[in-house]
Amino acid sequence: MIKIKKIIRCFWPLLLGIAICIGFQIIVNPSELPLNQTVVSDMIAQMVVEEKRQMDYMLYILKLRCSQIVLLLVFKFIKKEKPGNFLWLWIVGMGIGVGAYYFVRAYRILGLLLYVGFLFPHIFLYLFAYYKYAEIDYLGQFKRAEVTGKKRNVTQIIKIFAVVIIGIISEFYVNPYLVNFLGKIIYIKNYKI
């Protein structure tokens, strides 16, 4: 029970961003179908094809993830960790909310499966890294014995960066093939209907 409270306390801005975004989409355009098959197939094609596009995709991932890390570090440097964490998670939540709404509206339950494919496995690694970062910050406020030493903090931060790097690698190597596989399943299912 304590772990669930910790997770909710840590990730409530993410959940708030998702809820606000989906609620706004439902209120503003309830009948509009934002995505169609050509949009999704173009996204899949850009992720999986030739070498130049793969390099563009890798540069896009590095630019996106490194800018998020820089944002968090800037807020940490100016001693505004809490607003920085809130802002980062809220923005991520808004993005997840937009994607979830679009994919579910376009493909119903299969769209949810495809969208999880778009997020898996890297989003869970990034959120785990954020959770460990927030845990260090939270424990550091109370000067617990296990986080008082600088050596302990440095090893924790190295672990967090390692998880982020694994997330970037998995987003580049694992995610496109998973999305391609799920996309084929969804297209076959749609053609049968």
User: What digits encode the pLDDT tens for the residues 30-87?
Assistant: 665 556 656 666 666 666 656 667 778 888 888 888 888 888 778 877 877 778 888 8
> In this structure, what token pair is assigned to residue 8?
């909710």
Which residues lie closer than 8 Å to 168 by C-beta, 6 or more apart?
61, 62, 65, 122
91 pLDDT tier (thresholds 50, 70, 90): confident
Residue 132 has pLDDT above 50, yes or no: yes
Contact, 130 vs 93, CB < 8 A? no
AA letter at 106: A
Identify the pLDDT of residue 44: 64
The pTM assigned to this predicted structure is: 0.74
Mean local confidence (pLDDT), 136-162 = 66
What is the percent of the chain with per-residue pLDDT over 90, rounded to a whole number? 2
pLDDT of residue 190: 53
| Residue 103 near residue 111, CB atoms below 8 Å | yes
Distance CA(138)–CA(29), nearest Å, equals: 40
pLDDT band for position 192 (50/70/90)? very low
Report d(CA 109, CA 107) in Å as an integer.
6
Alpha-helical segments (H) within the chain: 2-28, 37-48, 51-77, 81-119, 122-141, 150-173, 175-192
The answer to whether 153 and 100 have CB atoms below 8 angstroms apart is no
Residue 188: pLDDT over 60: no
Q: According to the model, what pLDDT value does residue 193 have?
A: 38
Q: Which residue has the higher pLDDT, 44 or 172?
A: 172
